[in-house]
Structure 1
Amino acid sequence: MSSANEPPSKSMKMASALDQLKAHTVVVADTGDFEAMKRFKPTDATTNPSLVLQAASQPQYAHLVEQAISYAKSHSSDLTTQVSLALDKLCVLFGCEILKIVPGRVSTEVDAGLSFNKEGSINKALKLIEMYKEAGIDKERILIKLASSWEGIEAAKVLESEHGVHCNLTLLFSFCQAVACAEAGVTLISPFVGRIYDWYVARGEKDFAMLDDPGVQSVTRIYNYYKKFGYGTVVMGASFRNTDQIIGLTGCDLLTISPSLLGKLEAAEQEIVRQLEPSKAQAMDIERIEMNEAAFRWMLNEDQMATDKLSDGIRKFKADGRKLEDLLRARLQAE
């Protein structure tokens, strides 16, 4: 007979916070690191220029850079065109490798420099889908990531309705962006919890209870609005700074989480309580908003945090995209 002082057996051990979270929410790996994906076994994975840049600089992924360079050189003799082709191909190659690991979908981002160019975004998205097709990957396993500018949302509307291309609208910080995405019929949105939190912290507000965190509150409001009015667009909380922000959104459709925070959740044994539920949202008294371009631009303008973070996010993604272009240009010129 066991002593009362003996630790519980393995069979009695509480499931990790990560396993409990997975019971209510689809977990997505926010990384370009294949080994991290193999460890944490997410359903989907999402990348962006910053993550691809980090991964492309590591020796274990040098073969993918070489493949992208070879592809570009075989398709054009013009250096500028080669750089663009190599960049697109590298993102697709990373996506293909990720899809060997995850059972679901991978998000691949359109150049942030096209954030205010509807037609340019559509053309780039279709080019990426064609590259995946060449590699034997069906478009059903791809999410095209676009910034949640008005033009990005309009591009997604065309891609979804006319081309059957699923879209992930990123850099989403405001309620008006979320409503516009739902009205456009996009597949998925990625509201940025951590970057909203950062904006408030930079202004001296640092102590938030879990459910009072402004990023958590923003995603909760969006989730409840979508479930109240039956939108098909799903919500994937993103950009987390701590595990409380993740736990506070337990029940959200999806959450995309960095390897470091996945590790902390895997090690934690605290009990997780579901916070977001469709039935609760449907019972809420919520007013429906009529959205059009004028309303969108005014509401975004009135939200200083969202305006600041959207423009800042586009600039940062483009900056990392340029660094990746410079890396590929140097390699192309060296050969």
Structure 2
Amino acid sequence: MAEDLLTQLKGMSTVVADTGDIDAIRRFEPTDATTNPSLILQAAQHEGRRERLAEIARQATDIDDALDAVAVEIGSEISSLVPGYVSTEVSARLSFDTDATLNRARSLIERYDRHGIGPERILIKVAATWEGIRAARQLEREGIRTNLTLLFSFVQAQACADAGVTLISPFVGRILDWYRAEWPDADFSGDNDPGVKSVKKIYEHYKGHGYGTIVMGASFRNTGEIIALAGCDRLTISPTLLEELAETCQPLERRLSPSGAETSPPEPLDEAEFRWAHNEDAMATAKLAEGIRRFTDDQRKLEKLLGELREGRG
């Protein structure tokens, strides 16, 4: 009888938990873990954290200080459970401000250092805007590793590779969402899934040109998307889908395999080329803007919660 899909997948791709749920991380034993404002909000609302969050909120100098303190607190707890990277996100409000992103990223690394966690364990997540990618280039030069998120277009991936970022997170499910809304009667199953096609194209481009940037498929809507990308460098998966994979026993075929570089990398993109190519992709333009808004909305909810706790009303 075949092993369960999760066990087989771990032999082909590095499995990453897309959650701030400590219990889920303990159960599924991923190599890495990723968080974002939405996941931090979910983790912060756990009743068992309320007292500690109130303490953090009262000690913070302001709400931004409290937000970062909470993110690092949860990230530090996660780091004790995974052997690899923990991703922590810079505020989505800073997605179009390179200097502010740099300052916030350095501050997060300093906070982790005070928890005894070195920069080699942390990936700073930054939205893959032009400004975010410029910030990531500088952070990588400083020895701070980055995870470029909210990535929907091929040109975003190109620019991230040019910048030498450690890892990118192309979003599979959110791409599928857009195409389903536009063409509700189309067949987007299996290899027809536009999110799967996007990650495959990026993966093949990176391997074919010898880029060292890690490709980590993210934002999955179903296990079919994960199966179609078996072999991708990394796959970050929600607890619900991890459980489904763990409970399914069937053969798993490797779909992506690294190969040696075939050609030299193309010339780096300049800002005008990047902005024009991204603008030409209606899906990517819409989903990047929407993603920044959604993360900011959840950040506002977390700010409200911490503000109430700070004032003793939570």
| 2:222 alignment partner AA | N
1:136 aligns with 116
Q: Does residue 1:327 correspond to 2:305, yes or no?
A: yes
Going from structure 1 to structure 2, the CA distance change for 1:64 and 1:185 (only over 3 Å counts) comes to farther
The equivalent of 1:24 in structure 2 is 12
Kindly state the Cα deviation for residue 334 of structure 1 after the two structures are TM-superposed. Answer: 2.2
Q: Is 2:286 aligned against 1:298?
A: no
Q: Residues 19-168 of structure 1: matches in 2 within 5 Å?
A: 19-72=7-60, 76=61, 82-161=62-141, 163-168=142-147
Q: Which residue number in structure 1 is paired with residue 150 of structure 2?
A: 171
The 5 Å alignment of 1:156-305 reads 156-161=136-141, 163-205=142-184, 206-279=186-259, 282=261, 288=266, 290-305=268-283
Give the AA of the match of 2:21.
Answer: D
Shift of the alpha carbon at 1:70? Answer: 4.1
Cα distance, 1:92 vs. partner?
0.2
Q: How many residues were matched structurally?
A: 312
Distance in 1, Cα, partners of 2:293 & 2:246: 33
Identity rate, percent:
54
Distance 2:288 2:52 in 1: 31
How far 1:209 sits from its partner (Å)? 3.2
Corresponding position of 1:6: none
Q: Name the CA distance, whole Å, in 1 between partners of 2:156 and 2:52.
A: 35
Instruction: Give the aligned partner of residue 288 of structure 2.
Output: 310
- What are structure 1's unaligned runs of at least 5 residues? 1-12, 77-81
1:105, distance to aligned residue in structure 2 (A): 1.2
Contact 1:17/1:269 (8 A) holds in 2: yes
Which runs of 4 or more aligned residues in structure 1 lie more than 4 Å from their structure 2 counterparts after TM superposition? none
Distance of 2:286 and 2:226 partners within structure 1: 23
Q: Deviations over 1:95-154 (max 9, x none)?
A: 000011111110000000000000000000001111111111101100000000000000
Structure 1 residue 288: Cα displacement: 3.7
C-alpha distance 260-60 of structure 1, shift in aligned 2 (>3 A): same
Which secondary structure state, in structure 1, belongs to the residue aligned with residue 295 of structure 2?
Answer: helix
Going from structure 1 to structure 2, the CA distance change for 1:141 and 1:282 (only over 3 Å counts) comes to same
CA–CA distance in structure 2, aligned partners of residues 15 and 132 of structure 1: 38
Alpha-carbon distance between aligned partners in 1 of 2:171 and 2:87, rounded to the nearest angstrom: 15
Higher Cα Rg, which structure: 1
> How far, CA to CA, are the matches of 2:311 and 2:27 in structure 1?
37
Task: Please list the CA deviations of residues 292-320 of structure 1 after superposition, one character each: whole Å capped at 9, or x if unmatched.
Answer: 11110000000000000000000000111
TM-score of the two chains, using structure 1 as the length reference: 0.90
**Shift of residue 224, structure 1, vs aligned partner:** 0.4
Counterpart amino acid of residue 260 in structure 1 = T
Q: 2:162–2:268: 8 Å Cα contact kept in structure 1?
A: no
- Call closer, same or farther: CA 1:287–1:208 in 2, change over 3 Å: farther
Query: 2: distance between equivalents of 1:321 and 1:126?
Result: 20
For the residues of structure 1 that align with 2:103 and 2:81, how far apart are their CA atoms?
28
Please list every run of 5 or more consecutive structure 2 residues that lacks an aligned counterpart in the other structure.
none
Retained in 1: the 8 A contact 2:57–2:307? no
Q: Following TM superposition, by how much is the alpha carbon of 1:207 offset from its aligned partner in structure 2, in angstroms?
A: 2.2
SS of equivalent residue, structure 1 residue 315: helix
Task: Tell me: CA distance 1:199–1:113, structure 2 relative to 1, closer, same or farther (3 Å).
Answer: same
Give secondary structure in 2 for the equivalent of 1:278.
coil
Tell me if the contact between 1:64 and 1:93 (Cα under 8 Å) persists in the aligned partners: no
